[in-house]
Structure 1
Amino acid sequence: MVSSVKELFGGAITITLPSRIINASDLREVPDTQEVFLYPDSSVSIIIDVLQRVDPEDSNEAARLHFANLAHDNDADNSIVHDIIVIPNDRGDNTPSPIVLAGTQSVKKFNQSVPDEVRILLALYRVKDKNVDLLLTYNVPVRAIDQGAVGEEGFKNVKEDFDRAVQTLRVVDFGLFA
């Protein structure tokens, strides 16, 4: 898949994402603390959030808390954390090492009776000295009533995109978090 480097938040952060994604701010208003991208051929979304640091000092617990908050915001019937790992940043820059969480949420959209199965891929970058949690989230519907689901094969492709994004996200200007 063809990818390109995207500048986020006015160039303060760079990341490699699929070239074909759509910047949601071209379609609707997006909060200043978020960057949102959409896959043109599915309901997959990518959200980069600058959030106030959550309380748990333990990074795995902080990732779980962000996942639980997302499940609450999505009105998920059910949510399961499958895996949490830390990927060391060995590039030599000051970008924090990401805590990567993979999970699943059952989400009923538009009052439907059967919930969609949405895989959540989340990377948490804790910028401790700025009291910030930078969150990269991929919402990947693998089973859905509408035509937006990607299925298992599509999930594998999106997971490759996510892995590339996690490895390439770089905080260029920590002044963003002032």
Structure 2
Amino acid sequence: MQRVNEPHPLFGGALSAILPHGAADVSKMREIPDNQEAFVHTRTDQSLIVELVEYQDHVADQDAARYHFEDIAGNNAATQPGAQEVTEVVALPKSSVSLSACSSAWALTGTQYVSKYNETARNRVRLHLGVFRLPQFGTDVLVTFNDPQSICPDSSSSPAAVGPGVEPWTVEDFQHLLQSLTLHNPGLFG
């Protein structure tokens, strides 16, 4: 499938970004918190989340991605030894992102072992995280790409294995989303 190059409105059009092919809006399937926009791949267990969270002024810019990664690990019950690992954190040059209001932007790649729906089966998920710091609005914008690497046979995600003819999302799709994220209405932040 080809990538759709039209920006998708987020948060009522206050933000927009180019989403990868096959992105289905999770809010059409279940309730999503007001501070999130969530999308799933229609044929794999991959997901994308754009989330507005409180700016953590006690966290240095270069540590923000790791801070939020560890917060996500806590929410995923992936805090025990060996359940999470950060493999890379890099600064995103401001010239490469459309969200010009950010003071800095960071990308992290890591792995977490997580369960869905309080199951005991744990899946190995590569997590790609983008953090856009907006101290003037008291907000960090997080963009998370969950990319399962191995799914336990006992997991409810097991039938979602990628089969012939299915194009999973790529890191390039995620990077394109990060680069295209644009703020249209600062009133989103209050």
Q: TM-score, normalised by structure 1?
A: 0.88
Greater strand share, structure number: 1
**1:124/1:134 contact within 8 Å kept:** yes
CA RMSD of aligned residues (A): 2.3
**1:140/1:150 contact within 8 Å kept:** no
Aligned match of 2:120 in 112, 118, 123? 112
The alpha carbon displacement at 1:150 in A equals: 5.4
SS at match of 1:47: strand
Report the residue type matching 1:80 in the other structure: E
Which 5+ residue runs of structure 1 have no aligned equivalent? none
The alpha carbon displacement at 1:87 in A equals: 1.1
SS at match of 1:133: strand
Distance 1:7 1:92, change over 3 A: closer
Structure 2 partner of 1:142: 149
Question: 2: CA distance between counterparts of 1:2 and 1:44?
Answer: 16
Structure 2 partner of 1:30: 32
Aligned match of 1:95 in 88, 97, 101? 101
The alpha carbon displacement at 1:61 in A equals: 1.3
Question: 2: CA distance between counterparts of 1:121 and 1:150?
Answer: 19
* % same residue: 31
Report the residue type matching 1:116 in the other structure: N
Distance 1:93 1:62, change over 3 A: closer
Counterparts of residues 51-130 of structure 1 (less than 5 Å): 51-76=53-78, 77=80, 78-90=83-95, 94-96=100-102, 97-109=104-116, 110-113=118-121, 115-130=122-137
Structure 2 partner of 1:174: 186
Q: Once the two structures are superposed, what CA deviation does each residue of 1:41-99 show, in whole Å capped at 9, x if it has no partner? A: 11111111111112434112121110001011011141101111111122676332421
Structure 2 partner of 1:133: 140
Question: 1: CA distance between counterparts of 2:162 and 2:171?
Answer: 11
The alpha carbon displacement at 1:139 in A equals: 0.9
SS at match of 1:111: coil
**Structure with more relative contact order (C-alpha pairs < 8 Å, separation 6 or more):** 2
Aligned match of 1:164 in 159, 176, 179? 176
Aligned residues: 175
The alpha carbon displacement at 1:107 in A equals: 1.6
Question: 2: CA distance between counterparts of 1:160 and 1:51?
Answer: 25
Structure 1 partner of 2:155: none
Report the residue type matching 2:132 in the other structure: Y
SS at match of 1:147: helix
Distance 1:37 1:49, change over 3 A: same
Question: 1: CA distance between counterparts of 2:58 and 2:135?
Answer: 12
Runs ≥4 residues deviating over 4 A: 154-157
Q: TM-score, normalised by structure 2?
A: 0.83
